[in-house]
């Protein structure tokens, strides 16, 4: 604090206490004749992460943000924001209310409110377009993306970027502008620069925004608020911003998105029954890693590791596969480097046919075919080859991790690291904690996932773990609906309308129908006793749908063969078209089995597919395979294209009402008594019996918690 300046540190978020502190300090500074200018900076080198999201669920208290920012902007002394590390949401809105902004070169700026189901409601939708123009403001506000200080400088959002101390640079700037007129620095006074074809710009943006939003309301509201900045004076634009915010603020979507924000962070705070936790277990350092198998998954995993600065040794069985893997990995690294304007780190990966090359690595991730015998032979070999303290991880989709551990000389160092395809893109990592995985092993896998940019979720070791265990039942429902009268495109359309990134049949075609076929064979559901002409619709004591097997027998394996549930232009084609051959195939099938097709509503598709997911989620909680409903939801949001604005299957069930979910499952189970998974789970029944307590209390209703984590 000098004679000229009050430097007021903010804490990470604009809580009621912080708003009070700023309001009072700024008022004092404006009044104090010794003070010529003010610099606002953050505490501990962080400017501000925005409004305190936790306060949104409570009654508002403390000074409101809009008048506070207005008072700063209207002040007669220059106020400079010193942006270190981040200025996000309300934090950037506060900075936009200041007369000047200085950012550190490493700072990130953005208005991410849309990702929380909201819009920047502290004047952000009105001030930003006045500063950057409409297209840039639309981009930032409707996507919520963070930008670098350099991009912010180009857009005019900050006045200066410094590699040095941002607070010192802000003080220097503040002293240099004392006495200059402030009116031109007040963004609310500016006219919004308008593009020539305003209607055209908004029409185009709305189409794009609606397509990307998949039913989310906030992006559309954000675009409307920016339009107000183009068409209305500031004060009326602000009213429009407030009205749009009022609708969003109390919406279920905003609740779901804010729930996801905290659930994502809670997933990182894992704990094991033996008392090991995220905050008492030290992860190992990982400098070098091996990847075994360079097929669909191994390639993406190798790319993730290299991009995170980890040296990789990639192993294949034959020259041909090695060569194709090498070309694919190099291509991905080169394209990524080109996009980012850097040199591809090709020197960080070596390709080999020899497992011996893995002798010095810190950790190995196995990604060979989903075959227990093969994986066991690989793990036995790894035991012989690798350093005794190297971690051995498997990317299996659902095999028993402990059975694999049992063939090694180090069961405590074995853990599942289940990536999702494409592994360099999908954000989810399921970390499968075997009963013998050590705390250090789990901590290393969880931390490595975070370093690779993934959301790591710790789960128990059961067939399919959490994600695929639930997926199987979801897929079963979709197949049964086809038998009963639906078409693949009808089911997919209903699920996409619900908000899924892709319908289940498009996903199946993308992953390859042969994957499930192999799993069903391994589970003994398909074998020599199945009549090839009239395959049974009842196996292992329950209803079974042979439709996907019949497709595989016809060579319809999905995108890779150019035909699956849909038709593609060629093998590897991406654009799914409805196939009349599938329609006739389904008709013949129903005729053969004497099934009369009925009209299936969108409601039935969504309820059966989505409630069966939640029902299995309740069983997973009872079995102790997931620590909390939030973890199950994060698996679905980050691994299976579940619409984030619906929170996840467990959150959705709570929002629809557990009693309704129970009643609908009972209804569908009465209609389909041979589908045991439609029978409501014990935990769901118990929760409804207990008058549907909030999610945080669900675990208290499990009779005996037997955590398998
Ligand atoms: C009818 C009634 C109508 C009523 C209308 C009411 C109108 C109200 C007017 C409101 C005015 C609107 C103001 C503004 O426009 C709204 C906002 O600002 S919303 C918030 C926007 N900000 C963000 O989205 C940023 C979110 N945070 C992050 O991206 C990151 O956390 C970070 C800041 C980049 C830091 O990242 P990391 O260093 O990796 O750390 P973590 O992510 O692990 O976070 C650490 C810790 O902090 C908690 N936290 C972070 N940000 C917030 C936040 N904004 N609010 C609350 N808590 C936050 C985070 O959860 C972690 O805590 P933990 O979970 O570990 O306990
Ligand atoms: N494809 C998916 O969507 C997906 C998603 C998550 C997990 N998985 C799991 O990942 C694993 C790999 O699946 P994929 O789809 O990448 O399979 P894939 O068939 O595309 O690739 C497997 C690769 O492993 C190689 N391989 C086989 N035996 C080997 C050995 N002894 N040493 C070295 N390489 C060997 C093969 O040559 C092949 O290139 C499986 O366990 C699978 O269940 C797959």
Kind of pairing between the strands at 108-110 and 147-148: antiparallel
pLDDT of residue 690: 97
Residues 48 and 86 in one domain: yes
Write the pLDDT tens digit of every residue in 554-572: 999 999 999 999 999 999 9
> Does residue 520 fall inside a structural domain?
yes
By three-state DSSP, how is residue 503 classified? coil
Whether 242 shows a pLDDT value over 60: the answer reads: yes
Range of lowest pLDDT (22-31, 455-464, 698-707) = 698-707
CA of 321 to the centre of ligand 2 (A): 11
Give 9's pLDDT tier (boundaries 50, 70, 90).
low
pLDDT of residue 485: 97
How close is the Cα of 297 to the center of ligand 2, in Å?
6
Supply φ then ψ for residue 396, to 5 degrees: -55, 150
Whether 387 is covered by a domain: the verdict is yes
536 Cβ closer than 6 Å to some ligand 2 atom: no
The half-sphere exposure of 693 on its side-chain side, counting CA atoms within 13 A, is 12
Ligand number with the minimum distance to the CA of 120: 1
Q: Are residues 561 and 620 in the same domain?
A: no
Bridge partners (DSSP) of residue 417 are 431
**Nearest to 40, CA basis, from 54, 21, 53, 61:** 21
CB count within 10 Å of CB 185 equals 17
pLDDT tens-place string over residues 492-501: 999 999 999 9
Q: Is the distance from CB of 684 to CB of 658 less than 8 angstroms?
A: yes
Does ligand 2 have an atom closer than 6 angstroms to the CB of 29?
A: no
Ligand 1 pocket test target in 13, 16, 22, 53 with most atoms within 8 Å of CB: 53
In the numeric block, which tokens belong to residue 452?
């690779």
**Strand-pair category, 538-539 with 542-543:** antiparallel
Kindly give the pairing relationship between strand 363-366 and strand 391-394. Answer: parallel
Do the beta carbons of residue 675 and residue 690 sit within 8 Å? no
- In a shared domain, residues 311 and 446: yes
Q: What is the pLDDT of residue 272?
A: 87
Mutate to test the pocket of ligand 2, among 294, 296, 303 (most ligand atoms within 8 A of CB): 296
> 551-566: buried (b, 16+ CB within 10 Å) or exposed (e) per residue?
bbeeebbbbbbbbbbb
* CATH code, domain carrying 331: 3.40.50.720
Q: Does residue 3 register a pLDDT over 70?
A: no
Instruction: Verify whether ligand 1 is closer than 6 Å to residue 514 (CB atom).
Output: no
Q: Which ligand is nearest to the CA of 246?
A: 1
How many angstroms separate the CA atoms of 176 and 171, rounded?
9
**Residues 300 and 230 reside in one and the same domain:** no
Q: Which ranges constitute the DSSP H helices of 600-643? A: 602-623, 629-639
Say yes or no: CB of residue 112 within 6 Å of ligand 1. yes
Question: For 504-513, what is each residue's pLDDT tens digit?
Answer: 999 999 989 9
Backbone angles phi, psi at 360, to 5 degrees: -105, 0
* Confidence at residue 184, expressed as pLDDT on a 0 to 100 scale: 97
Is residue 316 in contact with ligand 2, taking CB distance under 6 Å?
yes
Ligand 2 in contact with 317 (CB < 6 A)?
Answer: yes
Looking at the DSSP bridge assignments, the partners of residue 42 are 10
- Assess whether 315 and 454 both reside in one domain: yes
25 CB less than 6 Å from ligand 2? no
Cα 413 from chain centre: 28
Nearest Cα to Cα of residue 503 among 475, 522, 532, 470:
475
- CA nearest ligand 2 atom 39, residue: 295
> Among residues 221, 249, 277, which one ends one of the domains?
249
Is pLDDT at 260 greater than 60 in this prediction? Answer: yes
| Ligand with an atom nearest the CA of residue 515 | 2
Mean pLDDT of 278-291: 97
Say yes or no: 500 and 398 in one domain.
Answer: no
CA 371 / ligand 2 centre spacing (Å): 9
**Nearest ligand by distance to the CA of 294:** 2
Confidence at 703, pLDDT banded by 50, 70, 90: confident
DSSP 533: S
Answer yes or no: is the C-beta of 295 below 6 A from any ligand 2 atom: yes
On the question of pLDDT at 10 being above 70, the answer is: no
Please indicate, yes or no, whether residues 331 and 452 belong to a single structural domain of this protein: yes
Q: What Å distances lie between residue 60 and 257, 379, 380, CA to CA? A: 20, 57, 60
> Ligand 2 mean position to 366 CA, how many Å?
8
Burial class (CB in 10 A: 0-12, 13-18, 19+), 527: exposed
If asked whether residues 345 and 428 sit together in one domain, one would say yes
* pLDDT of 230 strictly over 50: yes
Residue nearest to atom 47 of ligand 1 (CA): 12
Quick check: ipTM above 0.90? yes
Contact 103/158 with Cβ under 8 angstroms?
Answer: yes
> Is any atom of ligand 1 closer than 6 Å to the C-beta of 107?
no
Q: Residue 45, exposed/middle/buried by CB under 10 A (0-12, 13-18, 19+)?
A: middle
265 in ligand 1 pocket by Cβ < 6 Å? yes
How many A from CA of 290 to the centre of ligand 2?
14
Query: Which residue in 73, 84, 113, 316 is the catalytic one?
Result: 113
* CB of 293 closer than 6 angstroms to any ligand 2 atom: yes
At 6 the pLDDT is 63
Other residues' Cβ atoms within 10 Å of the Cβ of residue 192: 25
Give the pLDDT confidence of 639-651 residue by residue, as tens digits.
999 999 999 999 9
How confident is the prediction for the chain on average, in pLDDT?
95
Q: Which domain holds residue 340?
A: 288-465
Please give the distance, rounded to the nearest whole angstrom, from the Cα atom of residue 49 to the centre of ligand 1: 6
Q: How large is the average pLDDT for residues 540-546?
A: 94
* Sheet with strand 86-88: strands edge to edge: 86-88, 108-110, 147-148
Residue 561 forms part of a structural domain: yes
- pLDDT at position 95: 98
Helix (H) or strand (E) holding 166: helix 166-177
Q: Which atom of ligand 2 approaches the CA of 368 most closely?
A: 24
Which position among 73, 84, 93, 483 bears the catalytic label?
Answer: 93
Residues contacting 342, CB < 8 A, separation 6+ = none
Residue 295 CA, ligand 2 centroid: distance in Å: 5
| pLDDT surpasses 60 at 2 | no
Domain boundary among 434, 465, 496: 465
231 in the same domain as 332: no
DSSP 159: S
Does the beta carbon of 296 sit less than 6 angstroms from any atom of ligand 2? yes
Residue nearest (by alpha carbon) to ligand 1 atom 13: 90
pLDDT greater than 60 at residue 314: yes
Q: Is residue 268 part of a domain?
A: no
Q: Is 113 a catalytic residue?
A: yes
Would you say the CB of residue 50 lies under 6 angstroms from ligand 1?
yes
Q: Helices marked H in 180-317 — which ranges?
A: 198-213, 218-231, 234-249, 252-267, 296-307
Whether residues 220 and 136 share a domain: the answer is yes
The protein residue with its alpha carbon nearest to ligand 2, atom 28, reads 368
What is the domain count for the chain? 4
Question: Which is the closest atom of ligand 2 to the Cα of 378?
Answer: 31
Residues 399, 529 within the same domain: no
Nearest alpha carbon, ligand 2 atom 11 = 367
Give the Å distance between the CA of 246 and the centre of ligand 1. 18
Position 166 pLDDT exceeds 70: yes
Quick one: 447 and 498 in the same domain? no
> Which residue has the least CA distance to atom 1 on ligand 1?
246
Look at residue 674 and tell me whether its pLDDT is greater than 70.
yes
So what's the pLDDT on residue 8? Answer: 60
For residues 162 and 156, give the distance between their C-alpha atoms in angstroms, rounded to a whole number.
15
- The finding on whether 368 has its CB within 6 A of some atom of ligand 2 is yes
Q: Is 88 in the pocket of ligand 1 (CB under 6 A)?
A: yes
Report which bound ligand comes closest to the CA of 269: 1
* C-beta 276 within 6 A of ligand 1: no
CA-CA distance, 501 to 32, in Å (whole number)? 56
Q: Whose CA is nearest to atom 4 of ligand 1?
A: 246
**1 or 660: whose pLDDT is higher?**
660
283 within some domain: no
| Residue 11 predicted with pLDDT over 90 | no
CA angle 563, 319, 343 (to 5 degrees): 85
Rounded percentage of the chain residues whose pLDDT exceeds 90: 92
pLDDT digits (tens, 9 = 90+) for 571-629: 999 999 999 999 999 999 999 999 999 999 999 999 999 999 999 999 999 999 999 99
Residue 205's region, left for phi above 0, alpha for psi from -120 to 50, else beta, is alpha
Q: Is the dihedral of CA 90, 91, 92, 98 positive or negative?
A: positive
pLDDT tens-digit map of 98-154: 999 999 999 999 999 999 999 999 999 999 999 999 999 999 999 999 999 999 999
Distance CA 285, CA 260 (A): 29
CATH assignment of the domain containing 578: 1.10.1040.10
Number of Cβ within 10 Å of residue 665's Cβ equals: 24
Q: Which helix (H) or strand (E) holds 351?
A: strand 349-352
List the CATH number of the domain containing 195. Answer: 3.90.226.10
Q: Please compute Rg for the chain using Cα positions.
A: 28
Among 225, 249, 273, give the residue marking a domain's end.
249
Look at residue 706 and tell me if it is in a domain: no
pLDDT at 1 over 50: no
Residue 171 is encoded by which pair of tokens?
A: 């003080």
Residue 367 falls inside a structural domain:
yes
| Probe residue for ligand 1, chosen from 48, 49, 70 as the CB with the greatest number of ligand atoms within 8 Å | 49
**Residue 392 is encoded by which pair of tokens?**
């051995």
Q: Quote the ligand 2 centre to 472 CA distance (angstroms).
A: 20
pLDDT of residue 139: 97
Cis amide bond preceding 422, omega within 30: yes
pLDDT value of position 533: 85
The pLDDT, as a whole number, for residue 4 is 58
- Residue 519 is predicted with a pLDDT of 87
Q: Is residue 381 flagged as an active site residue?
A: no
Dist. CA 423 → ligand 2 center (Å):
12
Position 473 in a domain: no
């Amino acid at each position: 604090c000098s004679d000229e300046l009050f430097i007021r540190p903010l804490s990470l978020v604009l809580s009621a206490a912080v708003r009070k502190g700023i309001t009072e300090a700024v008022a004092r500074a404006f009044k104090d004749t010794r003070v010529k200018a003010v610099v606002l900076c953050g505490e501990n080198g962080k400017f501000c992460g925005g409004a305190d999201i936790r306060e949104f669920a409570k009654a508002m208290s403390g000074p409101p943000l809009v008048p506070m920012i207005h008072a700063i902007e209207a002040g007669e002394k220059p106020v400079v924001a010193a942006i270190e590390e981040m200025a996000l949401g309300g934090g950037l809105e506060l900075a936009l209310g200041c007369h000047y902004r200085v950012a550190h070169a490493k700072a990130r700026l953005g208005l991410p409110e849309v990702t929380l189901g909201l819009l920047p409601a502290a004047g952000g939708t009105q001030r930003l377009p006045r500063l950057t123009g409409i297209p840039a403001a639309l981009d930032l506000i409707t996507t919520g993306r963070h930008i670098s200080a350099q991009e912010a400088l180009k857009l005019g959002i900050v006045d200066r970027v410094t590699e040095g101390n941002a607070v010192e640079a802000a003080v220097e700037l503040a002293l240099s502008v004392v006495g200059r007129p402030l009116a031109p620095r007040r963004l609310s006074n500016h006219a919004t620069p308008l593009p020539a074809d305003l209607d055209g710009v908004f029409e185009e943006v709305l189409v794009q925004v609606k397509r990307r939003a998949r039913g989310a309301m906030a992006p559309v509201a954000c675009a409307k608020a920016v339009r107000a900045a183009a068409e209305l004076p500031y004060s009326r634009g602000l009213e429009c911003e407030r009205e749009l915010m009022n609708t969003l603020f109390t919406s279920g979507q905003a609740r779901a998105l804010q729930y996801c924000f905290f659930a994502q962070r809670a997933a990182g705070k894992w704990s094991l029954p033996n008392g090991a936790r995220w905050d008492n277990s030290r992860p190992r350092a990982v400098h070098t890693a091996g990847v075994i198998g360079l097929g669909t998954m191994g390639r993406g995993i190798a790319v993730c590791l290299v991009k995170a600065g980890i040296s990789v040794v990639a192993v294949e069985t034959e020259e041909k596969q090695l060569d194709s893997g090498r070309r694919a990995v190099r291509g991905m690294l080169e394209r990524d480097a080109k996009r980012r304007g850097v040199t591809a780190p090709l020197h960080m990966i070596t390709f080999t046919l020899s497992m011996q090359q893995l002798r010095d690595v810190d950790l190995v991730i196995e990604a060979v075919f989903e075959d227990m015998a093969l994986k066991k032979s690989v793990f036995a070999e790894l035991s012989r080859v690798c350093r005794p303290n190297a971690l051995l991880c498997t990317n299996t989709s659902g095999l028993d991790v402990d059975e694999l551990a049992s063939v090694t000389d180090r069961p405590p160092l074995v853990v599942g690291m289940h990536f999702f395809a494409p592994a360099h893109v999908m954000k989810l990592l399921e970390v499968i904690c075997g009963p013998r995985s050590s705390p250090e092993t789990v901590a290393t896998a969880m931390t490595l996932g975070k370093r690779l940019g993934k959301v790591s979720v710790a789960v128990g070791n059961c067939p399919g773990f959490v994600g695929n265990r639930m997926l199987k039942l979801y897929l079963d429902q979709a197949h049964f609906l086809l038998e009963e009268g639906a078409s693949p495109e009808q089911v997919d359309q209903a699920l996409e309308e619900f908000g899924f990134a892709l319908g289940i049949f498009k996903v199946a075609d993308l992953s390859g129908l042969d994957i499930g076929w192999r799993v069903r064979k391994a589970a003994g559901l398909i074998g020599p006793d199945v009549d090839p002409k009239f395959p049974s619709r009842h196996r292992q004591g329950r209803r079974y749908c042979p439709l996907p097997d019949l497709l595989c027998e016809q060579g319809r394996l999905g995108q890779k063969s150019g035909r699956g549930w849909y038709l593609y232009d060629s093998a590897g084609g991406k654009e799914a078209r409805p196939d009349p051959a599938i329609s006739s195939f389904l008709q013949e099938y129903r005729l053969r089995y004497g099934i009369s097709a009925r009209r299936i509503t969108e409601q039935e598709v969504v309820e059966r597919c989505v409630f069966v997911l939640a029902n299995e989620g309740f069983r997973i909680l009872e079995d102790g395979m997931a620590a909390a409903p939030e973890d199950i939801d994060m698996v679905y949001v980050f691994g299976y294209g579940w619409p984030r604005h619906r929170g996840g299957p467990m959150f959705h069930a709570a929002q629809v009402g557990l009693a309704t979910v129970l009643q609908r499952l009972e209804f569908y189970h009465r209609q389909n008594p041979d589908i045991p998974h439609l029978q409501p789970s014990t935990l769901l029944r118990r929760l409804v019996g207990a008058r549907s307590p909030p999610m945080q209390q669900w675990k208290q209703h499990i009779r005996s918690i037997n955590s398998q984590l």
